[in-house]
Homo-oligomer: A and B are copies of this chain.
Amino acid sequence: MKNSKEISASVISRLPRYYRFLCDLHSKGVIRVSSKELASIMGVTASQIRQDFNCFGGFGQQGYGYQVEQLKNEMSEILGLNEIKTAILIGAGNLGRAVASQLSFEDKGFKLVAIFDCDPLFKGMKIRDLPIKGDDEIEAFCNEAKPDMAVLCLPADKAPEMVDELIRLGIRSFWNFSHYDIHRKYPDVCVANVHLSDSLMTLSYKIKNNDGNW
């Protein structure tokens, strides 16, 4: 099994997809799956699956296949989904509300514990039983609850100041929907960026070059 630092970003980015397919197989009552079958379902090669799994010490027995439930549980363990981290969400506009209301955080390793917005119009409104609090309550909340992660759904121009503040308050990981490049100022924090406009431009490129999915 490789040290986590040696595992490439592209292997890591494929883990959630393995996990999703394994959950699906498990929910359908499938007990065992070969790398060949899993590859065919996922549209990748069996060799890629074996290589990826080998980064974590492999999970199967040669010629025997993988136990679906066991592999799903190991994948969940690797992804840290069983260790629930607390999260706050900053910015309750359309995007923030979509993220807070449509996504199930709990089975992805997080629990959403508070939502903040600078607009007093939102104050007191609720999303998933969480009242939207004002930005002026962030400091007291963080000092008290010490959340692990912040979801940033605020405009890029407001993000730098907010990130400074959140880092001062002890937050060290961010799910970042803004275009602010947190890592340039804070190289040591954990960040997953969601760049919707980059994704849309990539689709434009694919259409221009008539590429299929990859």
Q: Would you call A195 and B43 a contact (CB within 8 A)? A: no
Complex: how many Å from CA A93 to CA B197? Answer: 19
- The stretch from A102-110, A114-122, A137-145, A158-166 touching chain B is A102-110
Task: Report the contact-size class of chain A (Cβ under 8 Å from the partner).
Answer: 35 or more
Q: Would you call B202 and A12 a contact (CB within 8 A)? A: yes
Known: A97-B94, A207-B173. A192 touches B200 (CB 8 A): yes
CB distance from A116 to the nearest CB of B (A): 17
CB distance from A77 to the nearest CB of B (A): 9
Residue of B nearest to A24 (CB): B179
Q: Is A214 an interface residue (CB 8 A)?
A: yes
Q: Is A201 an interface residue (CB 8 A)?
A: yes
Known: A189-B213, A196-B103. A149 touches B16 (CB 8 A): no
Q: Would you call B15 and A205 a contact (CB within 8 A)? A: yes
Complex: how many Å from CA A28 to CA B148? Answer: 35
Residues of B within 8 A of A80 (CB): 204-205, 207-209
Complex: how many Å from CA A15 to CA B200? Answer: 12
CB distance from A63 to the nearest CB of B (A): 26
Q: Would you call A213 and B191 a contact (CB within 8 A)? A: yes
Q: Would you call A182 and B213 a contact (CB within 8 A)? A: yes
